[in-house]
Amino acid sequence: MAIAMITGASAGLGLEFAWQLATARHDVILVARDAGRLERLALQLRAAAGIQVEVLPADLSVPEEVARVAERLQDRSRPVGLLVNNAGFGLGGTFIGSDLVEQLRALDVMVRAVMVLSHAALEPMVERERGAILNVSSIAALTAGGTYSAHKAWVRTFTEGLAVELSGTGVTATALCPGLVHTEFHERAGLEYSELPELAWLNADQVVAAALADVRRGVVISTPSLRYAVASGLARVLPRKVIRAVSGGLAKRDASGEQAASADDEAASADASGD
């Protein structure tokens, strides 16, 4: 039975990944900051799916704790077959005038930790000639929405580079790039999108199911739903001047009265929404 590690597993897309992988009879390793939430989830998954669950509390903004998670990925005795790099959090408001400590924390969680954990997971996977990395990016990677967009653009490009390197090894790399997803992500980030039509939103269960299906097929860029696939295509061909203008309009709206998100990477599990 393959083992899957999910970061940011206690809420949002991470929670949905945990449930879908468990019900598919995969043993799971749950990584997040809140040990209590992870332990409760572990009890539920064991009871519902009859699988083995490891709980690994860690703050992925702390290098020493990332190293501890990486050490588990290097363990050949119970190898991890799928790594889901999902942890992250949103930052409301603008970069100018923001809390630099919080900005750096976001960089550590959504960029540095993804690099370190991917590096740790890939060596044993390549040795076994099987395995997969699933990195949660976003359609925001194609916009100009501040540091969150920059982080997600890095994740997308990094994953594409991994896919090139991994060709022919039996190991795959997939970047998940959904749009707006119904989770607690936006509320945590202080972002208000209640005026958007329901058509703009995706459900977490559909996003995760599509992502896992794409991983099984070895798809490199996974964009759930036709409407966001079309939006992504447009974003790639529109002049960057237009993208910047649209992103600037959204940023001005979001900047009114918003506060930076609480630095709770697992509870604000990266749903990679379009923000």
* Secondary structure (3-state) at 5: strand
d(CA 174, CA 120): 17
Which residues on neighbouring strands pair with residue 132, listed in sequence order? Answer: 82, 172
Buried b (16+ CB within 10 A) or exposed e, 54-82: ebbbbbbbeeebbeebbebbeeeeebbbb
User: Is 193 a known active-site residue?
Assistant: no
Give the whole-angstrom CA distance, residue 17 versus residue 221: 18
Whole-angstrom Cα distance, residue 82 to residue 174?
11
Catalytic residue among 148, 154, 185, 228: 148
Active site residue ranges: 148
